[in-house]
Structure 1
Amino acid sequence: MDARSYLFVPGDRPERFMKALDAGADAVVIDLEDAVAPAAKEHAREGLQRWLMTADRSRLIVRVNAVGTPWHAEDVEMVSRSGASVVMVPKSDSAQQLADVVARLPSQVRIVALIETVAGVVAMREIAAVPSVVRLAFGTIDFCADAGIEGLGVELDYVRSQMVIESRHAGLAAPIDGVTLELDNLERLTEHVATARRFGFTGKLCIHPKQVDRVNRGFAPNEEERRWAARVLAACSEHPEGAFAVDGKLVDKPIVDRARRISEFEVQAP
């Protein structure tokens, strides 16, 4: 399984970087975009470059400013020099746009494409096929603003389904769901994670450390699922030639494959 929790931290708050890494998130996204005011962006970029030179970058992602903004080109140049290995590109609207970003980065740098506009949804298949793109993320708030959609629930079912389908078609890891804005409503967060998981997402963007544990647990197999997987795999070893029943339900290859995924669950790099 791939990283479940992606915790944002403002790029102009270096005193929070290590705290974010210690918060238990699978990945930390140092944000040079929305979390940093325009007047502070240059200072944030310079400070982040110095910090990255000596930091453990294995769980770090840098969200640069969007293509077309005054800060984008220098953000990408800084990432190229810093040794960061994963970049989140906001407002990912086309494959050509991302290919231009990739061309300015070292070949080993991977891209998380943040889909948060109608243009990005329409071009999602081509975006997912860009070689350096390893995962799609859903910028729900910005997408709703761009599309004129009110509501983050069933109103976005179509887009969530498309993101899962296009990720699978391109051979990418399952996509990352958008943020939950209610910081003090952990039950709402749990509901959002459960919905995202049912749709086939395996990760979520977090905006506060208190959200991390719920997200991690929500995307990990629970004890009931692990026990079910163990029963399926035990029965599979006894019936290697065909379908069989577990708990009164038919089990065939897709079900066995799911049981193996649950049994072998582990978190990988972002």
Structure 2
Amino acid sequence: GKTIGKIKLRLGKGTMELQDIELWNHETKKQYLLVFATKEEVIAEKVGFLDMSFENQRCTVNGKKMELQVINLSRQIKCLPDELLQREIVKKLRSWKKRNFNAIYVEEKMRSEFLQEVCCEQGFYYVIAQKEFQMVKKESILSEEGIFDPMPSVYFPIEIQILDPKKGLLGIKSKWNFGNIKEDYYIRICVYQEEQRIGHNIKYILDFEPETMETINVSWISELDGKIEIHVELYQSVGNELIPKDYLYGKKVLTIQK
């Protein structure tokens, strides 16, 4: 890879200025390889660069306000991780990532290099209890305004808006980077009127970047009048080509009155 900096240490000390580096966040998970070399040995370690701060319960990451979906690890486990527990924590982090969690909260007594390293690898902010940030619940959402909200059992990772009710134009915004997830996700749209299903089976593979708006035109809505319900279902598709399985991940219902 490309070398972004190099320095010779004198008496074990030195300063190196880095330019044009990519900062770490929970989506990019950008890390660099830091190498210490002497005549006797070479030590290499992955590092990430991050600017994270709290003020009045508000979180700022790399200069931008950040919504945190936080797991209170201190309420999940009661001791520092041993080798067996470490493997279990990695499994839990991967599971929590699918629910769109992006931060781990720990008490000072549970500060751990292992936790910090695995959070960096899996895409979690590693938050240690401090005066500016305290958390008592097992899990919750910390909004950009510094307000704690309950974390739903299944976090619906897309936002849906009705852009043009006459034409049946919907806007879909992803909160996940679905490109980083191995499973396939898609949505199915069903239109109901007077409890009768008018149309269904529109599938849209979620492969667009997070926080970007994509549009879907549900054309037959333009031909309907009165109260219309649009059911947007999010599915996770797993398995292989021979035995596909689709799981309903969550559903949103939108209403149009024409």
TM-score in terms of structure 1 length: 0.24
More strand by share: 2
TM-score in terms of structure 2 length: 0.25
Which has the greater radius of gyration? 2
More helix by share: 1
Structure with larger RCO (C-alpha < 8 A, sep 6+): 1
